[in-house]
């Protein structure tokens, strides 16, 4: 389950600003109609935004098919839960796997990359570089991780150790460090005030790497809520962002007292049966991040400065 894809996927855009959606836990339901009302509403929001402005890509943060993943690359869920819901959108999807995806045939989701125009999931871990000005400006570097392989309680110690070494190797690389923004994306949150709470293994092992190598943001799902936690540690501030309400909403703030002191910035409200997603607009100076409800209402906004 561990491979190091040496070269990142390159996305070159002509404009000075990159725009992307990010959301997890979008994977419908295992019974007819295999999608939820919230999922359809959020998909329509994505279509409406992308009609008004150019959205260059989206990060899908795992739990792609509820409740047990897919059985094979020919599983009908690819059509019912993905292709049919997000049709008429030519935006590339860069995906990672979640815990529900591992219940089924996780390799089938990787193999589906060969059969779909916009589905990109080349391996359990991989990298994406976003360049502007026709490739001359290294704007965003994204490491997409399978957090099921990062924790010994999810996999085993050997696999977890190898994957953590991979993360550090990539983060400290000269190429990654040349980008204005460093983003790490994983299904499970590091810090969370939601129903499941923080993942201790990621707090212990991944968090020090995020701060040591000056990561701009860690994006995750798993919790069916929206969260922004801003934590300063080892002289660097990382924005921990949860976006997991694109198919169903729990909205349970059960672990507020278990996140670092004075790190709370936002927890979802007024989402109810509507759902929402994360949206970012990024230039060489600032990353503007928003949570947008499916009816178009802007729920929360914040900015992340360039790393240099």
For residue 4, what pLDDT is reported? 46
Nearest Cα to Cα of residue 219 among 189, 191, 251:
189
pLDDT(6) > 80? no
288 phi and psi angles, rounded to 5 deg: -95, 120
What is the average per-residue pLDDT within 18-39?
98
Chain mean pLDDT for the chain: 95
Q: Measured between alpha carbons, how far is 273 from 251 in angstroms, rounded to an integer?
A: 11
Nearest Cα to Cα of residue 240 among 10, 22, 58:
22
pLDDT(2) > 70? no
| Residues 56-65 pLDDT 10s | 999 999 999 9
For residue 271, what pLDDT is reported? 87
Q: Which helix (H) or strand (E) holds 164?
A: helix 157-171
Look at 46-60, 131-145, 201-215 and tell me which has the smallest mean pLDDT. 131-145
Q: Measured between alpha carbons, how far is 92 from 59 in angstroms, rounded to an integer?
A: 9
Q: Does residue 228 sit in helix, strand or coil?
A: strand
Residues above pLDDT 90, as percent of the chain: 90
Query: Any bridge partners for residue 58, and if so which?
Result: 21, 93
* Cis omega (within 30 of 0) for bond into 106: no
What is the average per-residue pLDDT within 126-150?
94
Q: Measured between alpha carbons, how far is 7 from 129 in angstroms, rounded to an integer?
A: 10
The answer to whether 266 and 232 have CB atoms below 8 angstroms apart is no
* Cis omega (within 30 of 0) for bond into 67: yes
Which residues 6+ apart lie within 8 Å of 15 measured at CB?
A: 54, 132
Rounded to 10 degrees, the C-alpha dihedral 229/298/38/54 comes to -100
pLDDT(1) > 60? no
Half-sphere exposure of 102 (CA within 13 A, CB side): 14
| Residues 192-227 pLDDT 10s | 999 999 999 999 999 999 999 999 999 999 999 999
Q: Measured between alpha carbons, how far is 66 from 41 in angstroms, rounded to an integer?
A: 18
Q: Measured between alpha carbons, how far is 287 from 183 in angstroms, rounded to an integer?
A: 11
CATH 3.60.21.10 holds for 9-305: yes
Look at 112-121, 150-159, 245-254 and tell me which has the smallest mean pLDDT. 150-159
| Residues 259-286 pLDDT 10s | 999 999 999 977 888 999 999 999 999 9
Q: Quick one: pLDDT band at residue 152, thresholds 50, 70, 90?
A: confident
* Contacts for 159-168: CB closer than 8 Å, 24+ residues apart: 159/1, 159/2, 160/201, 160/205, 162/2, 163/2, 163/125, 164/205, 164/206, 164/209, 166/2, 166/4, 166/125, 167/125, 167/143, 167/206, 167/209, 168/209, 168/213
pLDDT(10) > 70? yes
Q: Quick one: pLDDT band at residue 5, thresholds 50, 70, 90?
A: low
SS3 string of 83-124? HCCCCCCCCCEEECCCHHHHHCCHHHHHHHHHCCCCEECCCC
> Looking up tokens 């914040």, which residue turns up?
302
Listing DSSP states for 247-306 in one string gives S--------GGGS-TT-EEEE--S-TTT-EEEEEEE-SSEEEEEEEETTS-EEEEEEEE-
207 phi and psi angles, rounded to 5 deg: -55, -45
Residue, of 3 and 89, whose pLDDT is higher:
89
Cα Rg of the chain, angstroms: 18
Rounded to 10 degrees, the C-alpha dihedral 184/203/230/272 comes to 80
């Amino acid at each position: 389950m561990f491979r190091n894809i040496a070269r990142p996927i390159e996305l070159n855009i002509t404009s000075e600003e990159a725009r992307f959606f990010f959301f997890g836990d979008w994977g419908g339901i295992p019974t007819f109609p295999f999608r939820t009302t919230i999922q359809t509403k959020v998909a329509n929001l994505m279509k409406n935004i992308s009609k008004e402005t150019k959205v260059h890509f989206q990060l899908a943060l795992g739990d792609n098919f509820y409740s047990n993943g897919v059985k094979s690359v020919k599983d009908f869920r690819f059509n019912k839960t993905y292709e049919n819901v997000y049709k008429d959108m030519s935006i590339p999807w860069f995906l990672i796997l979640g815990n529900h995806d591992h219940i089924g045939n996780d390799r089938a989701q990787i193999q589906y990359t060969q059969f779909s125009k916009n589905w990109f999931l080349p391996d359990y871990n991989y990298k994406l570089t976003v360049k502007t000005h026709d490739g001359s400006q290294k704007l965003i570097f994204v490491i997409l991780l399978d957090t099921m392989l990062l924790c010994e309680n999810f996999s085993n110690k050997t696999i977890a150790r190898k994957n953590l070494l991979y993360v550090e190797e990539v983060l400290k690389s000269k190429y990654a460090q040349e980008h204005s923004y460093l983003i790490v994306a994983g299904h499970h949150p590091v810090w969370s005030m939601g129903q499941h709470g923080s993942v201790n293994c990621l707090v212990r092992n991944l968090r020090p790497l995020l701060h040591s190598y000056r990561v701009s943001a860690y994006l995750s799902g798993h919790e069916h809520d929206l969260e922004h936690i801003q934590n300063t540690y080892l002289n660097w501030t990382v924005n921990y962002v949860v976006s997991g309400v694109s198919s169903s909403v729990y909205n349970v703030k059960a672990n507020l007292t278990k996140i670092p002191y004075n790190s709370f910035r936002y927890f979802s409200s007024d989402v109810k049966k509507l759902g929402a997603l994360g949206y970012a607009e990024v230039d060489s100076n600032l990353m503007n991040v928003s949570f947008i409800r499916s009816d178009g209402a802007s729920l929360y906004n914040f900015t992340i400065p360039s790393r240099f």
